Amino acid sequence: MFSHRYRFVVWAVGALVGIWLVALAGHWFIEYRKLTAEKVRAYVESVDLAQLSAAARAQALKELADKLNALAYEERQHLRSERLLNDWFAKMTEAERLQFIEATMPTGFKQMIGAFEQMPEDKRRRLIDDALKNLRDPKNRPAANDTANRPPPISPELEAKIRTIGLNSFYSQSSAQTKAELAPLLEELQHGMESGRMLRRP
């Protein structure tokens, strides 16, 4: 009787330990595979786009777009504020830039622009003000030594044109370079509108 119970206890403890080890291994594996801003940064710094063939360039750009799209919203914004992709962007052709921007814009951002343009002017102005404020908030910027010397997420000239011409018209007429500069604002606007955070403010 005692031997039977002892074997059962040992088996039960062994089973629990096994389950715990499997769960721990799964957690480690997920954390290892989880894409982070640091991993994207390492990839960007490891690849020289100018040295690649046309096919390799296309593959590298697709891989980078996939990595960016897999990041959480906050990490994407941090990488954008660091101007991490400036070197790659400078080496892209105009067609590559446009394709890359389209590939890395959040799903539904064009619908967001359409909905934004249907709002009253005072609400559009307030949404832009809030989005720019959030982008310029030090808590949302990378904690690098040169943070204070970084350019603002949206240049004053670009901000003035958005307010004067309108977001939809300006975006549709812009070059790939301007669309890239506009991307943080579009993401912040969409994020705020989808969460309702901006719309709930009086």
Q: How many CB atoms lie within 10 A of CB 140?
A: 15
pLDDT recorded at residue 201:
52
Per-residue pLDDT tens over the stretch 145-185 = 444 444 456 788 888 888 888 888 888 888 888 888 888 88
Inform me whether the pLDDT recorded for 14 exceeds 50: yes
DSSP string, the chain: -HHHHHHHHHHHHHHHHHHHHHHHHHHHHHHHHS--HHHHHHHHHH--GGGS-HHHHHHHHHHHHHHHHHS-HHHHHHHHHTTTTHHHHHHS-HHHHHHHHHHHSPTTHHHHHHHHHTS-HHHHHHHHHHHHHHHH-GGGS---TTGGGSPPSS-HHHHHHHHHH-HHHHHHH--HHHHHHHHHHHHHHHHHHHHTTTTT--
What's the rounded mean pLDDT across residues 34-48? 88
pLDDT recorded at residue 25:
47
What's the rounded mean pLDDT across residues 42-49? 92
Query: How far apart are the C-alpha atoms of 153 and 77, rounded to whole Å?
Result: 10
pLDDT recorded at residue 32:
40
Per-residue pLDDT tens over the stretch 17-30 = 667 555 554 444 34
pLDDT recorded at residue 149:
42
- Indicate the average pLDDT of the chain: 77
Q: Are 186 and 109 in contact (CB under 8 A)?
A: yes
Per-residue pLDDT tens over the stretch 63-118 = 999 999 998 888 887 787 777 888 898 899 999 998 998 888 877 777 888 888 88
Confidence of residue 140 (pLDDT cuts 50, 70, 90): low
pLDDT recorded at residue 60:
94
Query: How far apart are the C-alpha atoms of 174 and 48, rounded to whole Å?
Result: 27
pLDDT recorded at residue 108:
79
What predicted TM-score, i.e. pTM, was given to this entire model? 0.63
pLDDT recorded at residue 148:
43
Query: How far apart are the C-alpha atoms of 74 and 82, rounded to whole Å?
Result: 13
